[in-house]
């Protein structure tokens, strides 16, 4: 098979393993796609150092009162929106702490707006409209590495002094590699369907974004061990989870856990301190503030939980 021209982006190259995909049976299709998907975690692991560095920048922004701002187009933009929208219920963060911008705006979440990715002026305006400052971290997401909207947004963020991170699945342009604080390059290779970066590249992007926000939030003390102690109980499932966490850490029955959470204004973390130390809400809030809102320095190691 003839080698692709060097100028062809990695995400646009043809995958020799799927060249006969249109003749495959349903089971063969499942096996083929699964085999390609299985290569993604190793590709993500190859960027572990850069992912960790980006996590440090995001944590730094949060600690200084800044924000994490995702900027992307198409699938990349939608994945940024997905990750940002999950932070408040999972970690109890205000919606403005993790923000996502997609080229084409809200309609592009549900309808293709492919031309929007080429609008460099819109990329600059997106940064200005969010009033990006030096305390923020802006993460540009572009599977191909060349999306003009994202590149322009990152350039504007750099001019404003913000931390900048570029996440892509092909070798980034030299200018971005040289000017961004971190370039996370996850080389997932040619897609099963040529150029369909919603597949392996999209999966890799989701894994990286999961790691960035989860890691930064854990570093901020948003968990106790692996318990989600800052969740927002906005559904019956999350109400149940919050009560079970309080019971697991502090003991007692569900009624006692519910009463403590209510007295703590819905804060599972504060309720745990109240129950474990036998103190009031105000006293628990004060103790948490004295320990950077972390439970481990106050209570020691969390309960071990069930064995895997």
Coil, strand or helix at 145: coil
CB 62 within 8 A of CB 87: no
Closest to 170 measured CA to CA, from 1, 7, 29, 2: 7
The rounded distance, in Å, linking the Cα atoms of 64 and 53 is: 17
The rounded distance, in Å, linking the Cα atoms of 303 and 145 is: 44
Assigned token pair, 219: 């570093």
Q: Point out which residues pair with 224 in neighbouring strands.
A: 227
Rounded to 10 degrees, the C-alpha dihedral 78/213/166/66 comes to: 100
The residues carrying an active-site annotation are 86, 117
DSSP string, 90-122: HH---TTTEEEEETT-GGGGTS--GGGGG-HHH
Coil, strand or helix at 127: helix
Residue 168: which residues within 8 A CB-CB, separation 6 or more?
141, 142, 143, 144, 145, 183, 184, 185, 186
Coil, strand or helix at 92: coil
The DSSP secondary-structure symbol of 181 reads S
Beta strand 163-168 with 137-141 is parallel
């Amino acid at each position: 098979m003839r080698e692709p021209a060097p100028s062809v982006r990695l995400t646009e190259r043809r995958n020799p393993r799927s060249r006969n995909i249109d003749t495959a049976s349903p089971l063969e299709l499942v096996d083929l796609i699964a085999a390609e998907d299985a290569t993604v975690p190793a590709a993500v692991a190859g960027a572990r150092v850069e992912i960790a560095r980006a996590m440090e920048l995001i944590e730094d922004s949060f600690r200084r009162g800044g924000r994490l701002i995702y900027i992307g187009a198409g699938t990349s933009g939608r994945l940024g929106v997905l990750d940002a929208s999950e932070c408040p219920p999972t970690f109890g963060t205000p919606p403005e702490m993790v923000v996502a911008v997609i080229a084409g705006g809200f309609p592009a979440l549900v309808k293709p707006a492919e031309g929007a990715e080429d609008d460099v002026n819109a990329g600059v305006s997106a940064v200005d409209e969010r009033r990006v400052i030096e305390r923020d971290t802006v993460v540009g997401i572009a599977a191909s590495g060349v999306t003009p909207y994202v590149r322009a947004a990152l350039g504007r963020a750099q001019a404003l002094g913000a931390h900048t991170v570029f996440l892509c699945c092909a070798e980034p342009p030299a200018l971005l590699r040289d000017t961004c604080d971190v370039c996370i390059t996850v080389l997932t290779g040619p897609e099963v369907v040529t150029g369909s970066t919603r597949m392996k590249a999209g999966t890799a992007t989701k894994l990286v974004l999961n790691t960035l926000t989860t890691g930064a939030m854990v570093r901020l003390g948003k968990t106790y061990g692996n318990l989600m102690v800052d969740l927002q109980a906005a559904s019956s499932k999350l109400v149940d989870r919050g009560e079970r966490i309080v019971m697991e850490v502090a003991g007692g029955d569900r009624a006692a856990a519910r009463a403590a959470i209510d007295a703590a204004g819905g804060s599972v973390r504060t309720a745990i301190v109240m129950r474990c130390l036998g103190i009031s809400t105000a006293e628990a809030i004060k103790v948490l503030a004295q320990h950077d809102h972390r439970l481990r320095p106050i209570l020691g190691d969390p309960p071990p939980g069930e064995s895997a």
